[in-house]
Homo-oligomer: A and B are copies of this chain.
Amino acid sequence: MEARLDAPTVDLLAVLAYGELTAFERLASDARLAPSVADKVALATMAAAEFDHFRRLRDHLAAAGVDPEAAMEPFVRPLDTFHDSTEPNDWLEGLIKAYVGDGLATDFYREVAGSLRDDRARALVLDVLADTGQAQFVVDRVTEAIRAQPAVAGRLALWGRRLVGEALIQAQMVAVDRDALTELLVGRGGLGGITGLLNHLTDNHSARMAAMGLQA
């Protein structure tokens, strides 16, 4: 029997778990848009990795005596809404969503995980976040597409901006609703800490867009 987890830890593991589960199902769906079998396999491989992360987070919650489904429930609506409002229209939009969405989520969770009191939970979160590594595939594909057809860059830049906007809207809904999670954030240095986090997220987002040849 493991030690009980405090409320912020349960919330963080649960929102990350449901985030990985929905990322899995959306990435796997988007694999249908792939122009070749090799591209399909690449996106499906990313999706399968997200499912593995989900499984590890869920098992950690369950081993600590927490009902994973009940813990994930408060995050179902904001995460589903995010995905419903950012359904990719084509393969490139799907790729960019995978890269930008994953990047934003990783930056955000990594910061918040720093405030977790539970060492094993923190280590698990950081370990799950470290295991991505398909980013180069996305950067290569998007860069090639823009080189072949420069006119798409404007639309894709807008798409990237929309992804961030929708993510921030849903993050704010969660913050209003989940005091435990918000405390983790504020505990990192009060409101000044939140401003710092937002600047950090925005800078990294701009760097990712630039890597694909897109304006943030």
- Name the residue on B nearest A18 (C-beta): B37
**How many A residues have CB within 8 A of the partner chain?**
25
Is there a chain B Cβ closer than 8 Å to A127's Cβ? no
A-B pairs with beta carbons under 8 Å apart, 11 shown: A21-B40, A24-B44, A25-B29, A25-B31, A25-B32, A28-B28, A36-B69, A38-B69, A41-B69, A48-B52, A51-B51
Encode A28-57 as 1/0 by CB contact (under 8 A) with B. 110110001110110010011001101100
Copies of this chain in the oligomer: 2
CB distance from A175 to the nearest CB of B (A): 21
Chain B residue contacts of A52, Cβ below 8 A:
48
- B25 near A76: Cβ-Cβ < 8 Å: no
* A→B interface (CB under 8 Å): 18, 21, 24-25, 28-29, 31-32, 36-38, 40-41, 44, 47-48, 51-52, 54-55, 58, 69, 72-73, 76
CB distance from A5 to the nearest CB of B (A): 19
